[in-house]
Amino acid sequence: MGWKSVKDHYRIRHLVSVAPECICIGSGYIHDLIVIGPQGRITKRDEGRSNEDLRRYQAEMDADPQLLARLVGQADVFARAITVYTFEDGRVLEKQCEELGWPNVTHDGCPMYENTFSADRAEVVKWALRDCELAVQFTKESIERGEAEVARWRERLAQHEADLQALRADKGLEIPPEADDASAVDSSPTPGEQA
């Protein structure tokens, strides 16, 4: 997808990056102010009226939709290929870029955030390990909280069942036949239990 061709042709000063099946034009805060689909059509427009550059990009793209489609469809050409590393899902990845660091992007259009991209592979390995360690810790803590919540619900259920049994066993109560029917009690699963 020709994200660099689009950026260069329209003289885009905003961040241009690639997301699944689209090119995004945005900022460090909102990456997708304008979105261009794989067929080279704008699929999300910036409706704000305050940014002259964004208005200009859209106006120039709208003026020649076929040109935009050609730019999106062509292969990008890069002046340099600097090796840079990042990590994802327990893997250290090698990518290429023209310029290191934020707010630049890799050849495949990934924004190079300072805490996830580096030319130093050893540094990225440390980041990847720390990220995975934190993910394991957070997940374990989430499971513990979930199990504690399920235990509280089971205690409440046991108390409610004991209350119900005590009411049914109380010979001094006159329980109407329809109220004593077991089907009158909602048997839907309690929170934390599967149906």
CA distance 66 to 16: 20
Identify whether residues 99 and 149 lie together within a single domain: yes
Contact in structure between 60 and 53 (CB atoms under 8 Å): no
| Domain contains 189 | no
Contact in structure between 13 and 28 (CB atoms under 8 Å): no
DSSP lists the bridge partners of residue 35 as 24, 44
Identify whether residues 130 and 53 lie together within a single domain: no
Q: What is the signed CA dihedral for 156, 161, 162, 164, rounded to 10 degrees?
A: 130
Closest residue by Cα to residue 14 from 36, 76, 5, 24 = 24
Overall average pLDDT of the 19-28 stretch: 94
Question: In terms of DSSP H, where are the helices of the chain?
Answer: 3-9, 52-63, 65-73, 121-169, 177-180
pLDDT of the residue at 192: 55
CA distance 73 to 143: 46
Identify whether residues 48 and 90 lie together within a single domain: no
| Domain contains 191 | no
Q: Any idea which residue has 């077991």 for tokens?
A: 182
pLDDT of the residue at 183: 47
Identify whether residues 90 and 163 lie together within a single domain: yes
| Domain contains 34 | yes
Q: How many domains does the chain have?
A: 2
Domain stop point among 41, 56, 73: 73
The confidence band for 195, taking pLDDT boundaries of 50, 70 and 90, is very low
| pLDDT of 191 higher than 80 | no
Closest residue by Cα to residue 3 from 30, 47, 34, 28 = 34
Domain stop point among 34, 54, 73: 73
| pLDDT of 123 higher than 80 | yes
Closest residue by Cα to residue 107 from 74, 85, 78 = 78
| Domain contains 194 | no
Overall average pLDDT of the 12-41 stretch: 95
CA distance 13 to 10: 9
| Domain contains 185 | no
CB atoms under 10 Å from CB of 11, counted, come to 10
| Domain contains 54 | yes
| Domain contains 52 | yes
Identify whether residues 66 and 113 lie together within a single domain: no
Average model confidence (pLDDT) for the chain?
Answer: 91
CA distance 119 to 86: 9
Task: Give residue 28's domain range.
Answer: 3-73
| Domain contains 31 | yes
Identify whether residues 48 and 108 lie together within a single domain: no
Identify whether residues 66 and 104 lie together within a single domain: no
Identify whether residues 18 and 66 lie together within a single domain: yes
Identify whether residues 89 and 15 lie together within a single domain: no
Number of helical H runs and strand E runs in the chain: 5, 6
CA distance 162 to 8: 73
